[in-house]
Chain A
Amino acid sequence: MRSPNSLANLCVHALAESIDSRTMIGIANELMPNYDVYARTGFRQSMVIPSRDMAQQIVADIVAQDRMLDLISALIAIQESGHMGRTYSIPRLRALVQELFEQGYVYDTENGVFVENPQVRKSRNWGTLTAGREYTMAFLRLDIVKNSQLVRTNSDSVIRKAYAHLRDLVVSATEKRNGRVWHWEGDGGLCAFFIADKHQRAALAALEIIHELDIYNKVACSLSSPLKVRIAVHGGPCEYSDNMETVTKNETLKRLREMEEDYTQPQTVTISSVVKVMLDDVVSNEFLPVNHNPEGRYYNYALKWEQ
C-alpha cells in the first residue's frame, strides 16, 4: 500500500507519545528481524535516542519495507492486550484506523490485520497477505463432473455459455463473502477465504453454489445433461504465494483435493471436521457424516427433494 505522509506522521506521534524506547525497539524487531535502530539513526549505543527520533526512523523504515499495515495492527494489539505484561494507551489510534479506512482498508479482528475493504477493491491477497508467510485459511475446491463428456457432447457455444454461468455464480457466491477465486480452469476452481468466519463463509458459499446450480439446471441449462459439480471445503495453514503451483503443493490443499475427488458425490458438498467445528449449529446441522471415510473426518451436504 502507498503510505501517505499524514499516516506516517500519525504513527510517529502514536509511537513517540505512548511507547518507551525499549518497547519500540521490540516492536521494530518483530516486524523487521535483526533491526538495529542505532545503526539506522547513527546514534552510538551508549547514547539515549530521543523518542521522537527513534519513532521517526522506525516508521521511515517500516514505510520503506511496505509494512505500515502491520505496524498499525501491532499498535492495535498492544492497545487491546498490552505488551510484555504492560498496558498501553495509544493516542491517535482512532485517527490511524480512520485514515486507513479512507484508503480502503478495514480491520479484521479475527486475524488481527488490516484487509482491503471489499467495497473499495478486491485483490488476490486482500491487500495484506505476504508471499512466503503462512496463514490459516479456508478453501473451497470445485470440480465439474464429467467435464470431458460434456465437452464432447455439446457444441462449443453451449459449453462456453454454461461454464461462464458457473464461473459467474462461483465468483458471486465467493466474493459476496469476501473470499477470492484464486484459480479457475475449464473444469473447476479454487476459492480462498481469509477474513473472520472464514470457514462458515466458505461453507455457505458452497451451499449457495449448489442451490443456484440446481435452479440453473432446472430452468436455464442448455446442455444435453445437467451441469453438476463436486465441492469440498477445508481449512488449515497455507503459505501464501502468487504462484498457484506453489500453493497447491500445500498439505491443506492436498487434503482438500482428496476430499473432493474421493469423498464427494456429484452435486454435493463435503467439509472436513476442521470446518464443521467452526460452523454455527444452524449450518453445521446440514452436514451429515460421509460413509466410509477414515475416522469420521468428513461431512456431506446434498440437496434432496421429497418425491
Chain B
Amino acid sequence: MRVYVLSDSKDAKRFFQKIGRLKGFELLFLPIADCRKVVKKNDKPTLLYLDITTLSRADRNKHLRLLSAADNLEFGILDPKGTVDDAASLIHQGAFDYVGKSLWKDGFGATRFKQAVGYTSYDVEDGGAGREAGAAVPTVDDWSRIVPGMLYTFCFMFFELDLDDDWRKKSGKAHLDRVTSALEMHLQRVVGPANGRLWIWGEYGGVILFPFDGRSCDPILLCYRLMLNRTIISAEDYHFGTLLSYRVALHIGTTTYQPRGSTGTIISDTVNFVFHLGHGFAERGNFYLTSAVHPYVPEGLEDSFVQCGVFEGIEVFRMRRRVR
C-alpha cells in the first residue's frame, strides 16, 4: 500500500524511517502543495499523513475537508510542534491517526504504525497490498522459493544502454550482435552474485529482478558501482573503444512471477511503471531510485542521491553525477 507523507519538513523522512522498511508499504514523500494532486489522481487504497505545521487554521480545515471527502484514502495528521489543542477533533473530522510533539520526537515504530492502520478499513498484515491480485504479497530472498504464477515483491532494476539512432543505423549487424552479447554477459556476471536475474530483456537492456526480503536492498550498491565504474567497465568488459552510457532505475513493487521468455501474459502496474520510468523519465547516463527504494539506501550514501521530481505520483531520486 502506498503511504503518502505530505510535509515540507526534512525530519519527516527520519520519522518514517522504520515504516519504510515494513513489507507491503511503499512510502512516498511529497510537499504539502501536492495534496490536491494526490487526492485527484488516487485510485487505490492509500494512507496519507499530512504535516499541519506550516498550515494556517483556515488552510488546515480546507485540507481536512479535502482529505475526508476523498475516496480510497485514509489520512493521519502530523503535528510536530503540538499546535492542536483538541486532537480528538481531528479524529472526528475523519483522521485515523494523530502524531503529536512527543511522538514526533521519539520516532515512529512499526507497532505504533500498525496499531494506527488497524483503525482504518485496510488489512494491516498485507499492507493493504493486493495491487496485483488482492492477496498478501510474500517477500522472499531465495529464487528456489519463487513459484511461477505467484505474486511476489521484487526489486526491479531497469537497465538500458544509451545508444544513438545514428550509431545504430551506421553499425553493422555483426557489431550490434557483439554489443548485445557483451551487454548480456556483463550484466549476468554483475547481477548474478547479488541474486539478480535478467527477466524481461530486449536488445540493449530491460528489467532485472532481485528477490526482495524487506530488510535490505543490495542492488542499490550494485547500481552505484555500475555508475561509478563506467570507465573501467567500458575498457574491460566491452572493448569497443567508447565510453558507454546507460540509464539505470530501481523500484520495489509486486508482480506475478513468470520465468524469462514467458512474461508475455503478465499484467503488472509495477512492471509498467518501471518501463515508463526507464523510458519516459530517466535521462542518459543517470541512475534513479524511487521512494520505495530510498529508505534502503545504505547509511552514509543518502547524500549521494538528490530528489529529482515525481513520476506517476512516485517521488524519484537521482544519483549525483560525477563531474571533472
Complex Cα distance, B245 from A282, in Å, reads: 12
By the criterion CB–CB under 8 Å, are B301 and A218 in contact? yes
Complex Cα distance, B304 from A215, in Å, reads: 10
By the criterion CB–CB under 8 Å, are B300 and A219 in contact? yes
Nearest CB of chain A from residue B240's CB, rounded to whole Å: 9
Asked whether A77 is an interface residue with its Cβ less than 8 Å from the other chain, the reply is: no
By the criterion CB–CB under 8 Å, are A306 and B323 in contact? yes
Q: Which residue of B lies closest to A211 (CB)?
A: B228
By the criterion CB–CB under 8 Å, are B323 and A304 in contact? yes
Complex Cα distance, B320 from A200, in Å, reads: 27
| Main SS at interface, chain A | helix
Quick check: which of A1-9, A36-44, A88-96, A283-291 contacts chain B, the rest being far away? A283-291
Q: Which residue of A lies closest to B297 (CB)?
A: A219
Asked whether A70 is an interface residue with its Cβ less than 8 Å from the other chain, the reply is: no
Nearest CB of chain B from residue A210's CB, rounded to whole Å: 10
**B223-246 Cβ-contact flags toward A at 8 Å (1 or 0):** 011001101101110000111000
- A306 touches which of B229, B236, B301, B320 (Cβ 8 Å): B320
A303 cross-chain contacts in B, Cβ below 8 A:
322
A66 cross-chain contacts in B, Cβ below 8 A:
none
Asked whether B85 is an interface residue with its Cβ less than 8 Å from the other chain, the reply is: no
B106 cross-chain contacts in A, Cβ below 8 A:
none
Nearest CB of chain A from residue B301's CB, rounded to whole Å: 5
Complex Cα distance, B94 from A89, in Å, reads: 93
Which chain B residues numbered 31 to 52 have a C-beta less than 8 Å away from chain A? none
By the criterion CB–CB under 8 Å, are B320 and A218 in contact? no
Which chain A residues numbered 196 to 211 have a C-beta less than 8 Å away from chain B? 200, 204, 207-208, 211
Nearest CB of chain A from residue B96's CB, rounded to whole Å: 37
A280 cross-chain contacts in B, Cβ below 8 A:
235, 241
Interface residues of B (CB under 8 A from A): 221, 224-225, 228-229, 231-232, 234-236, 241-243, 298-301, 304, 320-324
Interface residues of A (CB under 8 A from B): 200, 204, 207-208, 211, 214-215, 218-220, 280-283, 285-286, 288, 303-306
A–B Cβ pairs within 8 angstroms, 16 of them: A204-B235, A211-B225, A211-B228, A218-B301, A219-B298, A219-B299, A220-B300, A280-B241, A281-B241, A283-B231, A283-B235, A288-B324, A303-B322, A304-B323, A306-B321, A306-B322
Taking A211-B229, A215-B225, A305-B321 as given, write out 7 further A-B residue pairs in contact, using a Cβ cutoff of 8 Å, ordered by the A residue number: A200-B235, A207-B231, A219-B300, A280-B241, A304-B323, A305-B323, A306-B320
